[in-house]
Amino acid sequence: MIETTMQHGDLLISGLVEYSRKVFPEAKIVTWTENGARDTSFADIGNQGAQIANALAKLGIGVGDRVATFMWNNAEHQALYAGVPSMGAVLHTLNLRLSPEQAIFIINHADDKVIFVDASVAPLLSPYLQGTPNLQHVVVVNGPVEALTAPDHITVHAYADLIAGEPTTYDWPALDENAAAVMCYTSGTTGDPKGVVYSHRSIYLHSLLVTSTTGMGLSNRDSMLAIVPMFHVMSWGLPYAAMFAGSTVVMPDRFLQPEPLLAMMAATKPTLAAAVPTIWAGVSAMLDANPQDITHLREVIVGGAAVPPSMITKFDGYGVPIVHAWGMTETSPLGTIARPPAGIEGDDAFPYRVTQGRFPAPVAARIIGDNGEELPWDGIAQGELEVAGPWITGSYFQPDGNVTDPAKFNNGWLRTGDVATVTPNGFMTIVDRAKDMIKTGGEWISSVELENVIASNPTIVEATVIGVPDAKWDERPFVLAVVRSEDDADVDAQRAYLEGLVPRWQIPERWSFVTEVPKTSVGKFDKKRVRQHYAEGDYQILGQPQE
């Protein structure tokens, strides 16, 4: 048997840090502030990362210890992305928008030893700390330590003081590439949040995809506006992919509203941007009211929830193509991206662009029917999407060891909970979340497809659809919507718009109009809360059930 002559080199984040600081010192992290942009070179990010590692080592942090962040997207967060995993500790990004109960559960479940917190959100973190007995240190970043109130068992540090005088180099350990590097928790829309632990290898390989032309195509010629939070699936892997590619990254910090986002676009002229659909809906509304040239963006990457086709058309009108992607916390997250086949342009490309796209080579995928059978890729058969691959989790984190959950894992395959179809040439379309499908009179309605058609009405700002109990039909769709003016809160007019666009039996009777649809901690429509509010009678229901 012949053996390879190739050398072995572990794929480590420390390698990305050293590469980016030496080879791409011109690349930078641009942090948006109240006074405009603040630039930090990748060389400085590497230096700061080493200072963080030296400081943490003095605090007793070692290989495998969890170091959490409670922070916005900014240069200091990028330095933590660099230094913490490179020294062998595990970076744990805490979601700023969790409920207190979930935040305390996650800090204790992960057994965090240190938390770095932006001063602007330190008052939000303070009430959680009494319930975290194993937490030892909190480091306040970008503001005074007085912003935080901590119990006696926690030592509070100022970030600048903690790293002051520390060396700008660190003897990075020779870790196994399969060692834990970063951990994130699911948003916990059902049950407790679940921990996913990414390895150095999985992050490195995922970074390759983000920089690939079959992924986001991120290169050293790009400036990426990373709106998707660094506390959500590593900002879709962008902080590490930028180190790999030498890309400048524009980070919005806490300025996530349409007006400052458009201001930073005007000032920094990014070539790419990434965020969930609800962000772009707000940006679109602002652009309609205050037109601005955004054609410096060669693409906008949108994921986290299905993109309404009307939004894709709207951004085409701005001269900026939306590229649809799909993924989950469990998939690092990039699982598919919608790039039309070669040679297909214009109107012919649109049917491909509204899908979730094709799977990259390392991601295996299949759809499974109700009886456990694998279904064909014929663009018609619908089943639960299952995926496997080197950046797909095979279990959830448990303090006493990783365990698999049969409800989420099927003989090495991740059960996504998404109902999907796949065409013969590999284009995947999410029909709906399995739990969000609406069964009415024995027939199924996709809440996602219905939402997309409703959202195509120019009078609708945003809308979500859930199934609600119905005495005659078992379930019927209920629409919770935000409209552009009071006059648009007209159920008859909204129903009339849907005539001819969906089958008549799918047109919802029950509507309610609100100022904002509830969102999850990562910006998706929170259907769990909508169901709860509906059940508790919190909405004024307009329209009449079918007879």
Q: What are the residue numbers of the active site?
A: 186, 330, 439, 444
Instruction: List beta partners, residue 249.
Output: 29, 224
Residues 6 or more apart in contact with residue 215 via CB below 8 angstroms: 209, 334, 337, 360
394: helix, strand or coil: coil
Q: Please, what's the b/e burial string for 145-174 (b: 16 or more CB within 10 A of its CB; e: otherwise)?
A: bebbebeeebebbbbeebbeebeeebebee
**Burial (0-12, 13-18, 19+ Cβ within 10 Å), 381:** middle
Chain-centroid distance of CA 334 in Å reads 10
**Contact (Cβ atoms closer than 8 angstroms) between residue 220 and residue 19:** no
Cα within 13 Å of Cα(194), Cβ side: 16
Q: Token pair of 385, please?
A: 């999407």
Taking a C-beta distance cutoff of 8 angstroms, is the pair 413, 377 a contact? no
The amino acid occupying position 187 is: S
Alpha helices in 391-462 (DSSP H): 447-455
> Helices (DSSP H) in 302-446: which residue ranges?
309-317, 350-353
Cα three-residue angle 514-515-516, rounded to 5 degrees: 95
* Six token digits for residue 143: 């503001």
Transcribe 233-259 into DSSP letters: HHHHTHHHHHHHHT-EEEE-BT--SHH
C-beta contacts of 531-536 below 8 A and 24+ residues apart: 531/466, 531/468, 534/466, 534/468, 534/478
- Of 327, 278, 280, the C-alpha closest to 299 is 280
HSE-up of 76 (CA within 13 Å, CB side)? 20
Q: Which of 265, 338, 257, 348 is nearest to 303 (CA)?
A: 338
CB-based contact 419:437 (threshold 8 Å): yes
